Structure 1
């Protein structure tokens, strides 16, 4: 593992997201090229391929310039990839402008394989944060250009989950689900310290009884919404494991409703970060209250856990649509006119989700599909072997 400088010298300057994104694109390609040259000069085995996340879509350009094979990895759902490839058509049809801003509120359906979407919920959408939205839109645009310069397109999904959409994207190789739990003891690349004591706590809970609540590493809550969530978990009457990051309140001190911690002490476990794959695989987990990030979604589907969807921004809107409307693997939460999801809405949807046998059956089938895809002879295993074989040619 090596570090490539991002061109920002001072930590406070890194908080300027526009400057950071522009500097990274301008500075990091040169450092990557220098790194590859250094390795090729000092090692007997040369760099033969660059595999780059779509958010670093400048990397395939560097590889092409140096005559090196390149693979682009799409980190989100395949439906979002398909949508991104239609940006120019969306602009020409005056559905969005050249900055990705919606020009209409009407639902549209780009193709029969994709669910109908509101333009304000496209994968670059960031309600109330136009700066972040513009940055994500530019990354998506740049990734589209990198598609043409890549020898392979990889993604963290499996063919059976999105077969009709996978067929829309030439040369796409779904190789997921990419789960560390399949390789116990191997490094996972997680930079957050995990609290393994929550696994011992889960061992003491009844089967399919625990509500697991986690919103990834980016989502931010205000105090009102945080308290409503806490009260909703209390009202549910169920045991719960809640991941509360130290920065969940965007620098503010985390304050629970008065008396909350005492009232739920016998059935609630709160931690700063959990070994999520192991948690979701635990027999005591009943459902997953999730922000609908793609890694979390793949982990939940692979473990057969129903979702209560609390989408936050960007591709999470589309992921939520797939979970609730396409795969029938969960329910969504409704936001009130004040922008808050109430404690009563949280309790109501939890009650409904935990009693829904149809959703439970669906996620069980999806779990089996995911297992087969990554097993010997499965679609993802075959795709990965194809990639390796072509890489060696």
Structure 2
């Protein structure tokens, strides 16, 4: 490593977080930094296995991929956020400190780690940076409005919105700051994770990092002033450097935990322009068998071509089955898709999405209208942004059984694709976001200032 200044980055070990940090890492590498990308051992193996040919291109770049254990066994459930966060807090800090010591002296050659950029959910790493006298920065991978909620915890408790465990005291609306969107307690992101006990663990885990964050020099986020003017105006220390665009090598997307099925791109080439419903629910969403069948039949009922991502772990963990009536003749089903290439394909008409922040940004950057089906965490507020603030999508309504019916899916697909105003707003928002990537924009200047600070 010699004397190249190194930046160590540490994402929370989930697909969306890894994606955001990889995009940041590529930007840092382009500015001459060596990046030490620290994954959990479990995810590191999956990233490396998902595309064997990528190893040379990844390792040949200015990004080095290393790993430390998250403390869980290979068969343990990493979808349990509370369990994973608790294990990480016990297992990773000592390993990270040892890793830094090993990096600093490799075969007698001194390597300068000038900064640690940690996920907000991995705030303990910033304490290590402080202890070792290393610069520190944090990256928040959700919307700025969700960071505003976290920063407002003391006031939310004082105002009787949540109790000391972060649990909403009653279902109601509230407003963090004047002119900010009206929020509902259902949109407080940690209150949408697992059962009540899990929510308490996740809340206390993140609340504990607030004091550390206050002494951290840079707070970065994957957003823009145009997307979130009000939250960012009330959080001047939170610096938007988005929109992040997925890193790819050829047609493959780097950093994926599942192997991408590229056959869907050839299939898309055979479809008419603006005709395909793209259906993808990220890396966590699980459906029960009844809802899964209704989704399958709803796609068939729409009588339109569809590209549907059904992860392999969905089948193995819930033992779902396609209904007997489902023929799927108009569609293609894959285990994981190269989403960047899919969303930019001219055949895509709309995106049925879980509304994760990365997927939201990717859909917006490609001018694709949304049908919103949030699952947990911040996704319910992102749906609010999409449907009510930006007006580039529609949500599904539940029936009396709490299910999205097949008829509701067809109804909303038809309604969305018949609405030229939604399509027009989607294209305008795409143009606005893509202009932020150009030199001289506020977000590009923000990143330049961050790079300058790193080099000081």
- TM surpasses 0.5: yes
Which residue matches 1:156?
222
Which residue matches 1:195?
261
Consecutive unaligned residues in structure 2, runs of 5 or more: 1-64
Secondary structure in 2 matching 1:296? helix
The number of residue pairs the alignment matches comes to 390
1:225-304 equivalences in 2 (<5 Å):
225-249=291-315, 251-261=317-327, 264-265=328-329, 267-304=330-367
Secondary structure in 1 matching 2:341? helix
Q: CA deviation at 1:312?
A: 0.7
User: Is contact 2:386–2:393 with CA below 8 Å preserved after alignment?
Assistant: yes
1:179-190 equivalences in 2 (<5 Å):
179-180=245-246, 188-190=254-256
User: Do the aligned partners of residues 259 and 335 (structure 1) sit closer, same or farther apart at CA in structure 2, a change above 3 Å counting?
Assistant: closer
Which residue matches 2:236?
170
Q: CA deviation at 1:16?
A: 7.1
User: Is contact 1:180–1:186 with CA below 8 Å preserved after alignment?
Assistant: no
User: Is contact 2:278–2:307 with CA below 8 Å preserved after alignment?
Assistant: yes
User: Is contact 1:72–1:146 with CA below 8 Å preserved after alignment?
Assistant: no
Secondary structure in 2 matching 1:2? strand
Distance 1:11 1:315 in 2: 27
Which string of whole-angstrom CA distances, capped at 9 and with x for unpartnered residues, describes residues 100-142 of structure 1? 1111112112223432222133111227622432233233313
Which string of whole-angstrom CA distances, capped at 9 and with x for unpartnered residues, describes residues 166-203 of structure 1? 12112222111111258757862112100011000001
User: Do the aligned partners of residues 182 and 223 (structure 1) sit closer, same or farther apart at CA in structure 2, a change above 3 Å counting?
Assistant: closer
Q: Which moved more, 1:105-114 or 1:88-97?
A: 105-114
Whichever structure has more strand as a proportion of its residues is 2
What is the TM-score when the length of structure 1 is the normalising length?
0.94
State whether structure 2 residue 68 is matched by structure 1 residue 4: yes
Secondary structure in 2 matching 1:159? coil
Distance 2:274 2:202 in 1: 37
Find 2:129's aligned residue among 63, 77, 84.
63
Consecutive unaligned residues in structure 1, runs of 5 or more: none
User: Is contact 1:63–1:69 with CA below 8 Å preserved after alignment?
Assistant: yes
Which residue matches 2:277?
211
Q: Which moved more, 1:201-210 or 1:331-340?
A: 331-340
Which residue matches 1:32?
96
State whether structure 2 residue 370 is matched by structure 1 residue 324: no
Which residue matches 1:349?
412
What is the TM-score when the length of structure 2 is the normalising length?
0.81
Q: CA RMSD in A?
A: 2.0
Which residue matches 1:122?
188
Which string of whole-angstrom CA distances, capped at 9 and with x for unpartnered residues, describes residues 288-337 of structure 1? 00000011001000111000000111100110001111111101111123
Secondary structure in 2 matching 1:161? coil
